[in-house]
Structure 1
Amino acid sequence: MPAFLKCTCEHCGGRIEYPAEAVGANVPCPHCQRETLLKLDTGESAEVLSVGGAKWKLVAGALIASLVLVGVLWAGAGWLKKRRESGAVVSSPGKPGAVVPSRSGSSSSAVQLDPPKAVTPVVAKFQNGFTAQQIRNGRDLFGGACTECHRQYDPATYNDTEWERTIGGMRGKAKLRGKQSDELDTFVRTVRN
């Protein structure tokens, strides 16, 4: 990495920049064109400029940034793996019971719930002109999304007050989106009529 020095011209006072190897040489001043001895500046006016090495610094910086990124990704993957292994497992009907972690979050104090009963309500007739597809979609939603959160078993065992509180009172219909909410309401009406 070549170094450059600066000195003051003896005649005009202009600043001259020169390579460090040229100390002691007589050269024409770029300002006044008179022969000037290149000497080391002392005191406050002394300056040393380093040229080059920027490419090496850029490569080293990129390497360090890459290593940090790999380390962060590796730590994140380990954290996700650990979280999945210790996290709650929600089961659907017909699978073993769910493990619900306690409020404190410690996996040793998890509560084992009994598995939900696999109940498929039978709809004897298509009330109010509903189609079989509407009822089937609602039944699938009830067996999946509703049972995951509320642990409900047979929709025919709930009275009107319980349905109003459960279906009508769900804030934002939880995981359900527009059409799903309508299909679930259709299914509940066919079971309750």
Structure 2
Amino acid sequence: MKKLILGTVLGVAGMLVSCGPKSVAVTGPKYTSSEQLAQGKTIFENSCNRCHKLPDPAKHDDQGWINTLSRMAPKAKLSDDQHQMVYDYLISANKK
């Protein structure tokens, strides 16, 4: 009986998690205004610097930043918009 109840509870919990809101992955640039890029730089400097030295924007190409930020943005607790702004700042700084 305990196995049946535990299985039911775990099944319902799994369904609730799978039906929750999905994070939208960064797939390319979105924000281009100087204000949004400046905000991305501020988020990058304040959020990423909490745990480690800031990497050089030239460290990765566009796809490399997508991969890196996909791992790091959840650790930094960035919202989807913050994640996007950081990415857009990094690729804009990388192209200079």
TM-score after normalising by structure 2: 0.52
Change (3 A) 1:163 1:129: closer
Alignment partners' CA distance in 2, 1:128 and 1:176: 16
In the alignment, structure 2 segments of 5+ residues that lack a partner are 1-28
Alignment partners' CA distance in 1, 2:31 and 2:73: 29
Where does residue 60 of structure 2 map in the other structure?
159
- Answer whether contact 1:138 1:183 (CA < 8 A) is retained: yes
Q: Which amino acid aligns with 2:60?
A: N
The structure carrying a bigger helix percent of its residues is 2
* Identical pairs, percent: 27
- Answer whether contact 1:147 1:153 (CA < 8 A) is retained: no
Higher Rg: 1
The structure carrying a bigger strand percent of its residues is 1
Does structure 1 residue 170 correspond to structure 2 residue 75? Answer: no
Where does residue 62 of structure 1 map in the other structure?
none
Q: Provide the aligned C-alpha RMSD in A.
A: 2.8
Q: CA deviation at 1:172?
A: 2.4
Q: CA deviation at 1:191?
A: 1.8
Alignment partners' CA distance in 2, 1:129 and 1:175: 20
- Answer whether contact 1:155 1:188 (CA < 8 A) is retained: yes
Q: Which amino acid aligns with 1:170?
A: M
CA offset digits 1:28-77 (Å, max 9, x no partner): xxxxxxxxxxxxxxxxxxxxxxxxxxxxxxxxxxxxxxxxxxxxxxxxxx
Q: Which amino acid aligns with 2:78?
A: L
Change (3 A) 1:153 1:129: closer
CA offset digits 1:66-116 (Å, max 9, x no partner): xxxxxxxxxxxxxxxxxxxxxxxxxxxxxxxxxxxxxxxxxxxxxxxxxxx
Alignment partners' CA distance in 1, 2:71 and 2:30: 24
Q: CA deviation at 1:151?
A: 1.6
CA offset digits 1:102-143 (Å, max 9, x no partner): xxxxxxxxxxxxxxxxxxxxxxxxx98711101100110111
Give aligned pairs, total.
Answer: 66
In the alignment, structure 1 segments of 5+ residues that lack a partner are 1-126
Q: CA deviation at 1:192?
A: 2.5
Change (3 A) 1:129 1:178: closer
- Answer whether contact 1:138 1:184 (CA < 8 A) is retained: yes
Does structure 1 residue 147 correspond to structure 2 residue 32? Answer: no
1:38-117 equivalences under 5 Å are none
